[in-house]
Structure 1
Amino acid sequence: MTKETYGLRDAADLIGIMPSTLAYIVSAGDVLPERGVPTWQQHDGNVWNDLTKFVFTAADIERYKTEMDRRTFAELKIAYADVYQADAGPEPRGLEFGPGWTQILREFCDHLRDFNDTGRTCRLRWGKEKFGALHLFCDYDDSIQRYVEHAKGIAYGRSLGTCQECAAPGRLRYGDMICLTLCDRHSHLAAPLDQEKDGKILDVSAWSRSQRRLPE
């Protein structure tokens, strides 16, 4: 391999991410190495089969750095610095979900601004994807708990109908090992699908409660 190209691990080091994260982004299919991925065609999932054949150029490195800015919500964190306060502590959490939910997050932050404008402090600290849905965690005055929880519920509901990769209309894809809310184009990210549950269970938490598997 020449000096102008890099394997998966070296490319990930230059971008500042884990090799598994870079492999996932390639598998999503929206940002591909300019020289192609010889073991992966038409979203068939083979991207995971031979990572040693990945080849990235210096231009690819810059493109994936830009993609990571998008996936870590760099612009949003600046735009909403008045209501977003990063989690702190020995094991801080971040905004751990796909970029397709950016607009949902923006609208939630707008709600927080409305609360703050009334003199009631509310700050977004972190968020995560769990069972294909968006869960947000905040610090807020007790007096607005009901309103913040309502805003969180709106974001949760919208996430279950929005592809977490690209923001297109989507639904929960119930995989054998993972559940993700995705559009048809990105549905391969949850494959293989559980044929008995996929398309029937569209909210895992609600279904689990109905089966008495989660506390009310």
Structure 2
Amino acid sequence: MADLMTLREAAVILDADLVTLVHIIEVGDTVPTPPVAKDFKDIVFAPDDIEPFRAELRRRRFEAFKAEYADLYAEDTGPGARHLEFGPGWEGILREFCDGLRDFQAAGYRTRLRWGKEKFGALRLFTDCADEIAAYVGERRGIAYGKSLRTCQECGELARLRFGHSICLTLCDRHKHLVGEPDPERDGIILDVDAWSRQQREGERG
């Protein structure tokens, strides 16, 4: 069909990088109408595919969150800037955490969210806050961390940490394919990398 466009052409229209579009297609919830080719360079988009992908990109960029929580979060800019670097399935956890920060803010304490990332399948949030509430904010960060290890980072459904041979992510059954072939020595055995690492260190000292 003459109106089909390449992956690169779609990326330009969507103002998105190729890696992000390929990842969205790999997730499998939002895909182009034409059959997805085995080689990603052969993927094509129909015109009607642009709006669903645009909506998915807005979700992954946390645009609604940024608008609603502008009092707590302003995205960094410039060299070395960090952002919200994790899957959209954790947005509910992020909002709950920031609602807690708002409680502190309403009580007159300085607090804001700086950035966040996924590491070893868990959510890590970074904040600036008054010294008086640092311990309380740390507790809330710990709660968010624990919830992320039970929540699919793609869709927000119940999940667990999944280990492939080269990557680990917290995913539900529907999205577990993103880690590839499970590593039988770790998958389903290590459910919290930080806790497991602490146990290993304590065992070495013991």
Q: In which range does the TM-score fall when normalised by the shorter chain?
A: over 0.9
Partner of 2:9: 10
Q: CA RMSD in A?
A: 1.4
Partner of 1:200: 189
1:1-216 matches, within 5 Å, as: 2=2, 4-39=3-38, 50-212=39-201
TM-score (norm 2): 0.94
Q: Which runs of 5+ in 2 are unaligned?
A: none
Structure 1 residues 162-213: Cα deviation after superposition (integer angstroms, max 9, x where no partner)? 0001111000001111110000010000112211110000011111122129
- Using the alignment, how far apart are the partners of 2:8 and 2:77 within structure 1? 29
Q: 3-state SS of the aligned residue for 1:186?
A: helix
Q: 3-state SS of the aligned residue for 2:58?
A: helix
Q: How many residue pairs are counted as aligned between the two chains?
A: 202
Q: 3-state SS of the aligned residue for 2:201?
A: coil
Partner of 1:43: none
Q: 3-state SS of the aligned residue for 1:126?
A: strand
- Using the alignment, how far apart are the partners of 1:187 and 1:27 within structure 2? 11
Q: 3-state SS of the aligned residue for 2:12?
A: helix
- Using the alignment, how far apart are the partners of 1:145 and 1:87 within structure 2? 21
Q: 1:38 deviation in Å?
A: 4.1
Q: 1:18 deviation in Å?
A: 1.7
Percent identity over the alignment? 54
Structure 1 residue identity aligned to 2:129: Y
Q: 3-state SS of the aligned residue for 1:11?
A: helix
Tell me which moved more, 162-171 or 82-91: 82-91
Q: Which runs of 5+ in 1 are unaligned?
A: 40-49
TM-score (norm 1): 0.89
Structure with the larger helix share: 2
- Using the alignment, how far apart are the partners of 1:62 and 1:38 within structure 2? 21
Tell me which moved more, 59-68 or 142-151: 59-68
Q: 1:35 deviation in Å?
A: 1.7
- Using the alignment, how far apart are the partners of 2:110 and 2:86 within structure 1? 25
